[in-house]
Chain A
Amino acid sequence: MTTIPPAHPSDDAATSAFRHELYPYRGDEQYLSGTLGYIHEALEGGEAVVVAVPEGRASLLRGELGDEPAVTFVDTTTLGPNPGRLVGAWVAWMKERGAQDRPVRGIGETAWREARSAAHLSELRYHEWLLNRAFARSSAWSMLCPYDDADDDRSALQSLSRCHPLIRQDGHYVRNEGFLTAEEYPFDALNPPCDPFQELSYAHGDLAAVRSKVARCAADAGVSEDQQRKLAVAVTEIATNSIRHGGGHGTLRTWTQDSTFLCEFRDAGYIADVMAGRSRPTVDQIGGRGLWLAHQLCDLVEIRSTRDRGTTIRLHVDVAH
């Protein structure tokens, strides 16, 4: 790793654009040391700070910062569990605090131990990687991601660190040589559907049949009526994308795994833009709302898309028991 002076962007490519730092820590003292140091650097530079961390960590920071007006705490629990909503939320928070081109720093901490499934964990990590793309040209924005390393899980830390170009250590950030610089993210492979699963092929004219199939299976799985109505919109959007952009047809599968109802859509299309569906659409935007709505209406969305294998999208809905 290469040591870089703190807080002052250099000509280095890693620091002249969006600065995205992972901060592994152990214990409250180390947590406060790293995060408060980061915040004070921001305040000295006249920057605003947005803090999105679990409530326990937020309380610690509030106790130290008092009513510092340049620091805003936001509640990520209102976003729901889907990490696919986080980029849009961060864009909104940063824009709100960064009025008149004021630089903004974010502190974003995920409650990793509360990840509900391997798929959820995988999408949380992917979100961290996507942040680099989302804010690639935003030199006025930077983000620190504290990570509780108390479990000493080397594998978990390594997986996460690959999504961060910088790592903060002892008040400095250093370039992370293990950062994934490839254009394509190395996704975890999707597990096969659980037996028994239901399957339906669809094409133009079959949207009602898709909704009907999903509604029956979701009701059987115990999905709430409210969530079924949201799911009806999401499946309509994904099936529409297959029909319009994915070769005109696709295959739907539904099944239940643990406490999750899943709908999988496969088609021959390719989604070239990894940011598709991650940013809030503008009023005059012609298309691009389908994946956005799916992310906002489902508890988790997994997207795997390659030129040679086509696209697979899985919509997850939590089943309340």
Chain B
Amino acid sequence: MRAARTLATFDDVELGDHVCWHPDSADAFPADVLAYVADGALYGDKIVVVGSTGAVSGLPRDAVPSASVILDSPRIADPDSVLAAVRREARTAAREGYRSVRVLTERAPAAAPGGAEELLAQELKLDEFASESNAIVVCAFRPSQWDRPTLEHVTGVHPHEMGIRAERPAFRMYSTGADVWSVDGVIDSECADAFNTAVRAAVRFAPKVSLRFDTLEMIDAAGMRALVDAARHLPDRRIVVEGANDIVRLCWELAGYVTDGMPVVMAA
């Protein structure tokens, strides 16, 4: 079962990880990236770089193993095509005998013009891919290029991050099955907007999704409201919350959400 965790270095990366990397200094980029790529060769993982090597974290072209794949064509500029290409490379790598694929991508605001919800929808798809295929996906977000709220939003949909765990958002939402998303941590008023955006992005893909709250410590009134609003954002959506602890279930009932017609159901 996947679980949220923090990586001190890329040495700690494991199969199925989807890492949100906030490099704290530009100087650290090449060394960290080189180590990530070199470990791929060591463990028998095929390297897949999304974007040009120079633009992705300052990765020198000659540092990339010859068998690596660089997905840098204008034809695959749209996110769905990128994901389809990555999935294709993962299947090819499996046929070629690789252990898995190591995906490296650097996200830039210019490549995410659709706003936070669109960006989170793309990240959730990548997360589902990592979960299903045991691929390792590292997404670099340079803090200097992104506004803080958007960075918080995207951090919330990566189960893993490198460096010191960001204090916000206090939750992490990630794939643990087909249309099943686990939510870890705390959902309070300070991250309710990020949670709302993440759930809205999740219900885009399917009319019915499950949220696993097994490792969610607490949710406050703003968080519950955010969940209900996200479910009502699109018609005919249904969210089943499973594994919630007794206090979360009590608060849900006290808040008045146990009622007919509610698109969010708190399962026992």
Supposing A205-B190, A208-B167, A293-B254 touch, asked if A233 and B218 sit within 8 A by C-beta, the answer is yes
CA distance A290 to B262 in the complex (A): 20
CA distance A229 to B255 in the complex (A): 16
Contact of B218 among A204, A232, A283, A287 (CB under 8 A): A232
The answer to whether A236 touches B220 (Cβ under 8 A) is: yes
CA distance A282 to B218 in the complex (A): 21
Query: Per-residue CB proximity of B94-107 to A under 8 Å, as 1/0?
Result: 00000000000000
Whose C-beta in chain B lies nearest to the C-beta of A234? B220
Q: How large is the interface on B (under 10, 10 to 19, 20 to 34, 35 or more residues)?
A: 20 to 34
Which of B245-260 touch A at CB < 8 Å?
Answer: 245, 247, 250-251, 254-257, 259
Query: Per-residue CB proximity of A281-321 to B under 8 Å, as 1/0?
Result: 11101110110110011000000000000000000000000
**A residues in contact with B170, CB < 8 Å:** 207-208
Nearest-Cβ distance from residue A95 to partner chain B, whole angstroms: 14
CA distance A255 to B28 in the complex (A): 46
Does B6 lie at the interface of the complex (its beta carbon under 8 Å from any beta carbon of A)?
no
The answer to whether B251 touches A293 (Cβ under 8 A) is: yes
Task: Name B's interface SS.
Answer: loop
CA distance A285 to B257 in the complex (A): 10
Whose C-beta in chain A lies nearest to the C-beta of B170? A208
Does A280 lie at the interface of the complex (its beta carbon under 8 Å from any beta carbon of B)?
yes
Which of B127-179 touch A at CB < 8 Å?
Answer: 167-168, 170
Does B242 lie at the interface of the complex (its beta carbon under 8 Å from any beta carbon of A)?
no
Q: Which one of A204, A233, A280, A286 has the highest number of Cβ atoms from chain B below 10 Å of its Cβ?
A: A233
Which of B209-251 touch A at CB < 8 Å?
Answer: 217-218, 220-222, 224-225, 245, 247, 250-251
**B residues in contact with A232, CB < 8 Å:** 217-218
The answer to whether B221 touches A290 (Cβ under 8 A) is: yes
Which of B187-223 touch A at CB < 8 Å?
Answer: 188-190, 217-218, 220-222
Q: Please name 6 pairs of A and B residues whose Cβ atoms are closer than 8 Å in the assembled complex, sorted by A.
A: A207-B189, A211-B186, A233-B251, A236-B220, A289-B224, A296-B254
Q: Which B positions have Cβ atoms within 8 angstroms of A?
A: 167-168, 170, 186, 188-190, 217-218, 220-222, 224-225, 245, 247, 250-251, 254-257, 259, 262
Q: Which A positions have Cβ atoms within 8 angstroms of B?
A: 204-205, 207-208, 211, 226, 229-230, 232-233, 236-237, 240, 243-244, 280-283, 285-287, 289-290, 292-293, 296-297
